[in-house]
Amino acid sequence: MKIFYSFLIIFLFTPSLFADSTEINNDSDTKRVFFVEPVDGAHVHSPITIKMGVSGMQVAKAGELVDGAGHHHLIINGSAIEKDMVVPADKDHIHFGGGQTETTLELEPGEYSLTLQFADGMHRSYGEEMSKTIHIKVE
């Protein structure tokens, strides 16, 4: 019976050792932005749910300059914005100044690059090191 209880205890407590280690800690020292969804190379249908993440910095609303904070911008078929340059405001540069981390996007069928760019409260880019580009195909 002791063996049974030993195995039971091991069985009950071992799963915590294998918990999902892919969760990103926002307090990490490694600063980066990333797409939670979709993944690079995804084939998707419109409307597309875009989920954005950041590590090592905090998300804050635009208009407030807070050290170690900023907000997301989504660039469609474009590249990262040079550090300290203001992210343009047009149909291909979508601002999430309210601190949003999720949106729905309508895109026509075709191939797209999506670049996530993090910028400060005045929309000044944190540069290429705080950007991430993925490629998707809308079917």
Instruction: Write down all domains in the chain, each with its CATH number in brackets.
Output: 22-138 (2.60.40.10)
Three-state secondary-structure class, residue 123? coil
Residue type, 95: H
CB count within 10 Å of CB 96 equals 20
Cβ-based neighbour number of residue 42 at 10 Å: 15
Closest CA to 73 of 91, 55, 49: 91
Torsional class of 67: left (φ above 0), alpha (ψ -120 to 50), beta (otherwise): beta
93 and 101 Cβ atoms separated by less than 8 Å: no
Q: What is the pTM of this model?
A: 0.79
Contact 131/52 with Cβ under 8 angstroms?
A: no
pLDDT band (50, 70, 90) for residue 7? very low
pLDDT at 12: 34
Q: Compute the mean pLDDT over every residue in the chain, rounded to the nearest whole number.
A: 85
Distance separating alpha carbons of residues 87 and 32, to the nearest angstrom: 17
Q: What's the CA gap between 43 and 34, in Å, rounded?
A: 18
Residue 28's pLDDT band (boundaries 50, 70, 90)? low
